[in-house]
Structure 1
Amino acid sequence: MMKTTRTTIGVRIVVLAFLLIFGNLISQTHNGAVGINTTTPNPNSVLDVVSGNNNKGILIPRLNESQRDAMVINKPTDDGLTIYNTTEDCFNYWSLADDEWKSVCGQLGKSVFTIDCADSKAMGTYVKGKELTNSNYLRISVNVTKLGNYTISGTTANGYNFYGTGVFLNTGIQKIQIPGQGTPENIQTDTIEISANGGDVTCTPPVSVTVLSPAGTYTMSCGNAKVNGVYKVGTELTASNTITLPVNVSTMGSYTISTNTVDGISFSGSGTFTATGNQNVTLSGTGRPTSTSVKTITITSDSQGGVSTTCSVDVIVVIPKKTVLHIGLETAYGYSAFTGPSRNLMDSPSNFGTTATSVVKYEGFNHISLGNSPSSTALQNALNNKPDIVIIGYSYSPNTTEAGYIANYLNKKGVVIALTDDTGSAQNLFRSIFSDPTISASNGAGAGSVYALTNTNDPVLNGPFGDVRGKNWGEDASTTVSITGLSSEFVPFSYAQPINSSTARTGITGLRNSNLSFIWFGDGGFLSNGNANGNQANSNTIEPFVAPSSGGYFPVQKSAYGYGGNGYSAGGMQVQNSILFANMIAWAIKQAEFSGINTQ
């Protein structure tokens, strides 16, 4: 025991001696400067540290962000206090001037965020031997809780990877793109290993990519393509927003079909053809529509073999609600579109709605009525409120002053549909609207008259509810008004001569102004139908409007109409009043949305 004790004491003495000698060698003070591993410290430095073998560094205190923030700062004496922040992987120092910790990596430092794996996926198509392009990227959904820099990568073992850096300037949920690079080497499904700010991210299920075989040969049939789903401005496309595209495959292989981005939306699809012949491909949509304009989307395929690789389809976006001002007699016959089957036609979501099967993609109407006899002041005030559309029916008769108000509304890009059969009010309207005092109106044929529609390719005659070019419309119980003296600025829809009358008549009984948003037919009972359910009325000479409730108030022709004459038997004609009216409304909605009085 005594021998062991002496040996231990001796060792301690030797170690102490070496420390004293070593300390003298590595730490020397020269003019106030301390040097480590140097006998000549820099005179401008308080401490000069040298790595003797150039293989070591210096460590300063390492604290995470919580530990750093738990420190009690003595502001007058701690200015410049420095640590290494392990949370953001960067040096921090206390700034007295700014009264906060600063990061030498930049003021923002490293961001803090989480990745929503369920809303993150690889975009674009991946084909063996085909180098990735700008369309190949990871769309990552993140929830940022601290502003700052980010680095995100996605790796595979198949010849391609993803990498992106940037700065989050806002907190909250947002989507970012991480570009891809490289060339897929094998046909397989790859799991993307994601790393965010140096830490691994585990996604269940994982984000994956299917690498396809080289492309086959196929032709697209865009003329038969079907656009599915409902599209609204500012609303993110979902799984229901697709394009069903018929193709004819002549050589099997992979396919990559994509579109350009128009007003914020695009479509794409990929896969492998395992059989030749006719089949359908589904293109999935992404993005948010930024406007209600019709979007002509160009579709591009990677088909081999010299076939056409581009074509186009139109995507219709839902138009927001419009306000309609109704003027006319509100009776069971529905002379004003504020009541009766014509109102039901307008409000039917299968006709004008937001469903995938709605004929016109539209959010509906706000209906306002002035009744049949508004004062001039009431009319002026109502028009000054800028309704999107005005519909005039029997038996409203504007005087010269009121006709001037309506003309002024039209000149401000208002939309007017006028269905009138009073010669004085019709003449007032036309003289004001066309600025021509020589235009005149006169009474024509009576109840049950049938008028041929022109073959003009016009959106009212050939619209979403049917093509009525060369067909007919029917006069209700009164007398048709015809207009003469027009020289220009109009599209004629029908003339004054009924097909079932041999009495010669001249003039125009239906038209659209080619410069202003104005439609007119010379019959106040154009919309007449006393059946609340919209079924065909049992008369050959009155109530020409038909829109059965059993069909969702979809407009159809009246199959038996007209008095007998000029070779036609009584009730032997068909009239298209309801189809014409539905096309008028579809036209009016578009006019109001894209060039109307409230268009910004």
Structure 2
Amino acid sequence: MMKTNSTTSKLKVLLLALLLVFGQFYSQTNNGAVGINTSSPNANSVLDVVSGGNNKGVLIPRLTESQRDAIVINKPKDDGLTIYNTTEDCFNYWSFADDEWKSVCGQLGKALFTVDCSNTKAMGTYVKGRELTTSNYLSMAVNVTKAGNYTISGTTPNGYSFYGTGTFLNTGVQTIQIAGQGTPLNIQTDDVSLTANGTDVTCTPAVSINVLSPAGTYTMSCGSATVNGVYKVGTALNSSNTITLPVNVSTLGSYTITTNTVDGISFRGSGTFTATGSQNVTLSGTGTPSSTTVKTITITSDSQGGVSTTCNVNVIVVIPKKTVLHIGLETAYGYSAFTGPSRSLMDSPTNFGTAASSIVKYEGFTHISLGNSPSSAALQAALNNKPDIVIIGYSYTPNATDAGYIASYLNKKGIVIALTDDTGTAQNLFRGIFSDPTISSSYGGGAGSVYALVNTDDPVLNGPFGDVRGKNWGEDASTTVNISGLTSGFIPYSYAQPINSTTARTGISGLRSSSLNFVWFGDGGFLSNENANGNPYSSNTIEPFVAPSSGGYFPVQKAAYGYAGNGYATGGMQVQNSILFANTIAWAVKQAEFSGINTQ
């Protein structure tokens, strides 16, 4: 083992080595001092060597490191034994105290290391006539057995090379970068000849580089690009994290397509177009996402010919698990989504999961239930624990005090999805949430009523599970509740008038607050379906929720619903309750992550 000691005191040891050097002329005077080429040696020295013509030096024994290590050391007597190590280009001396050879050349000597050829590769894109940049380098894996200095070069016969020098301060496996320089002259494949600390390194197969032709002309179709793989905060991207980018090539040549780095991740692809026309390019991802924000990645191409060379795509990162507080009956019908097909829809990785095919990239839910009749104290305690989302279903009836607690939770950026069909419940909620004592509620249509959804671009109406704008939702077995007296602060989803009824109704039957995280529909059975497999229940007027297990509980419309009336036949309408609910949950997950009670 070698250690470095550059102190001046250590260098004094070298003077003792000179006792081993004898010249033709010497004198021994002054209390045993020996002089070479001088008759008056320094009185304080044991040996005083003078270069007669001031043109010569002193040589002590020169050994390779292997020869040095072959010396049989007599530890007590050889303390201070000195040689010049030609392998290391340093003076070495034997230290009895440390029981090892030490280097005293004033710096670390040459490092000893081996190159792992299998993990050595050329990085960047190499194009004829294009000067290498900082993106062009050799990434080399080395195993350092002795710390010290290194010089590594890589040469090619094609106008460019690699060179790097530095110091290994520690032993063990390390990865280093050897910078490239120069300009490739020809389109060809080059083998890189490696030299490490003056010794040739032979890699089989050799590290090779494809020099590409100058860039071709092509256009990108970012609107049709596909982001592949799962992206999660703190997890490094791998080979599955790519962007499939459609391009249209008009002139053959090389291509280099890169992106900026956003929250720790970027993408890159390069190659040569061998045919014109439409084709796909794969951009490989690198880095580790640092946040769950949607990342707008700017793609830049090197296309020639005056075409557009930038466009954007969005990368979605998996959102961490959220807590859902359910309030309502825990039955097979799934009124509060704590049970039944509505719960299965939420827990299905097809819908909300971390798979590449999951509709919403999300780690899932932690479910908590307060049952159907929690006390005001229990409700307040549960809300004070700051659940991310609250779902209210049949037949929970909050009083004015409870409504105040829910309003306070909403004002702290909590999220409430309320599905209620009791007039007193709805009135208490709306008066508390909107701080308006004039808001009133009334009963509307009965079982099998069908309500038209507005044609507004909204994340609940037009979300990841489908676009239901201009379509319908259906009332379950009870009676719809309508809200009147709201003048502002909300986005209407549906009004009080069923499409299959001629009886005039007024008010709102579904809405979202424009300032609070609150969604409401006036039906406590909005999620009702007693079939555990989520298949359609065989009735035209009850249980409008459909999410078949055969499709991973993916939400679909109930194709035959509604009572006859106003020109509609029995079962002659389609309702979208399950799609609305799934879109609402997707909206709620996003709100909880970026603008929720636990993001403050």
Change (3 A) 1:590 1:305: same
> In structure 1, what residue type is equivalent to 2:319?
I
Which stretch has the larger CA shift, 383-392 or 150-159?
150-159
Change (3 A) 1:121 1:329: farther
1:257-302, CA deviations, whole angstroms, 9 ceiling, x for partnerless residues?
A: 1211222222222221122111111222222222222221111111
> In structure 1, what residue type is equivalent to 2:566?
N
Query: 1:537 deviation in Å?
Result: 1.3
Equivalent position of 1:129 in the other structure? 129
Equivalent position of 2:478 in the other structure? 478
Distance, in Å, in 1 between the alignment partners of 2:412 and 2:97 is 60
Instruction: For residue 565 of structure 2, give the secondary structure of its aligned residue in structure 1.
Output: coil
Which stretch has the larger CA shift, 410-419 or 125-134?
410-419
Equivalent position of 1:316 in the other structure? 316
Distance, in Å, in 2 between the alignment partners of 1:599 and 1:172 is 43
> In structure 2, what residue type is equivalent to 1:24?
F
Change (3 A) 1:312 1:49: farther
Q: Is the 8 A contact 1:328 1:372 kept in 2?
A: yes
Which stretch has the larger CA shift, 473-482 or 379-388?
379-388
Aligned counterparts, 1:416-431, within 5 A: 416-431=416-431
Distance, in Å, in 2 between the alignment partners of 1:331 and 1:339 is 6
Query: 1:144 deviation in Å?
Result: 6.7
Instruction: For residue 498 of structure 1, give the secondary structure of its aligned residue in structure 2.
Output: coil
In the comparison of the two structures, how many residue pairs are matched?
577
Question: Matched residues, percent identical?
Answer: 78
Aligned counterparts, 1:19-168, within 5 A: 23-24=24-25, 50=51, 54=55, 58-59=59-60, 116-141=116-141, 151-165=151-165
Query: 1:374 deviation in Å?
Result: 2.1
Q: Is the 8 A contact 1:254 1:272 kept in 2?
A: yes
1:227 lines up with 2:231 in the alignment: no
Distance, in Å, in 2 between the alignment partners of 1:562 and 1:549 is 24
Equivalent position of 1:327 in the other structure? 327
Distance, in Å, in 2 between the alignment partners of 1:51 and 1:379 is 102
Distance, in Å, in 2 between the alignment partners of 1:444 and 1:430 is 17
Distance, in Å, in 2 between the alignment partners of 1:230 and 1:71 is 61
Aligned counterparts, 1:412-491, within 5 A: 412-491=412-491
Query: 1:474 deviation in Å?
Result: 1.1
Equivalent position of 1:385 in the other structure? 385
Aligned counterparts, 1:133-282, within 5 A: 133-141=133-141, 151-165=151-165, 175-195=175-195, 201-282=201-282
Query: 1:406 deviation in Å?
Result: 2.4
Distance, in Å, in 1 between the alignment partners of 2:489 and 2:174 is 52
Change (3 A) 1:470 1:91: farther
Instruction: For residue 268 of structure 2, give the secondary structure of its aligned residue in structure 1.
Output: strand
> In structure 2, what residue type is equivalent to 1:423?
T
Equivalent position of 2:18 in the other structure? none
Q: Is the 8 A contact 1:38 1:50 kept in 2?
A: no
Give the TM-score normalised by structure 1: 0.84
Which stretch has the larger CA shift, 553-562 or 157-166?
157-166
Instruction: For residue 383 of structure 1, give the secondary structure of its aligned residue in structure 2.
Output: helix
Q: Is the 8 A contact 2:332 2:339 kept in 1?
A: yes
Give the TM-score normalised by structure 2: 0.84
Q: Give ranges in structure 1 of 5+ residues lacking alignment.
A: 1-19
Aligned Cα root-mean-square deviation (Å): 3.8
Distance, in Å, in 2 between the alignment partners of 1:296 and 1:447 is 46
Equivalent position of 2:505 in the other structure? 505
Equivalent position of 1:3 in the other structure? none
> In structure 1, what residue type is equivalent to 2:452?
A
Distance, in Å, in 2 between the alignment partners of 1:502 and 1:60 is 113
Query: 1:466 deviation in Å?
Result: 0.8
> In structure 2, what residue type is equivalent to 1:257?
I
Query: 1:150 deviation in Å?
Result: 5.6
Which stretch has the larger CA shift, 438-447 or 147-156?
147-156
Change (3 A) 1:288 1:208: farther
Change (3 A) 1:159 1:500: same
Which stretch has the larger CA shift, 249-258 or 136-145?
136-145
Distance, in Å, in 2 between the alignment partners of 1:205 and 1:589 is 51
Distance, in Å, in 2 between the alignment partners of 1:378 and 1:85 is 81
Query: 1:54 deviation in Å?
Result: 5.0
Equivalent position of 1:547 in the other structure? 547
Distance, in Å, in 2 between the alignment partners of 1:146 and 1:343 is 61
Q: Is the 8 A contact 1:564 1:571 kept in 2?
A: yes
Distance, in Å, in 2 between the alignment partners of 1:439 and 1:164 is 76
Q: Is the 8 A contact 2:225 2:244 kept in 1?
A: yes
1:116-142, CA deviations, whole angstroms, 9 ceiling, x for partnerless residues?
A: 544443222110110112222233455
Distance, in Å, in 2 between the alignment partners of 1:198 and 1:408 is 74
Query: 1:48 deviation in Å?
Result: 5.7
Distance, in Å, in 2 between the alignment partners of 1:461 and 1:96 is 83
Equivalent position of 2:350 in the other structure? 350
Q: Is the 8 A contact 1:393 1:524 kept in 2?
A: yes
Q: Is the 8 A contact 2:546 2:555 kept in 1?
A: yes
Change (3 A) 1:438 1:217: same
Which stretch has the larger CA shift, 197-206 or 240-249?
197-206
1:33-79, CA deviations, whole angstroms, 9 ceiling, x for partnerless residues?
A: 977667898999875665958586755776869969x98999xx98x
Distance, in Å, in 1 between the alignment partners of 2:63 and 2:237 is 47
1:538 lines up with 2:544 in the alignment: no
Distance, in Å, in 2 between the alignment partners of 1:392 and 1:88 is 77
Distance, in Å, in 2 between the alignment partners of 1:267 and 1:109 is 40
Query: 1:426 deviation in Å?
Result: 2.1
> In structure 2, what residue type is equivalent to 1:281?
V
Change (3 A) 1:465 1:195: farther
Equivalent position of 1:12 in the other structure? none
> In structure 1, what residue type is equivalent to 2:546?
V
Which stretch has the larger CA shift, 131-140 or 328-337?
131-140
Instruction: For residue 180 of structure 2, give the secondary structure of its aligned residue in structure 1.
Output: strand
Which stretch has the larger CA shift, 112-121 or 470-479?
112-121
> In structure 2, what residue type is equivalent to 1:438?
T
1:289 lines up with 2:280 in the alignment: no
Query: 1:324 deviation in Å?
Result: 1.9
Q: Is the 8 A contact 2:562 2:570 kept in 1?
A: yes
Change (3 A) 1:376 1:214: same
Distance, in Å, in 2 between the alignment partners of 1:425 and 1:204 is 77
Distance, in Å, in 1 between the alignment partners of 2:140 and 2:594 is 36
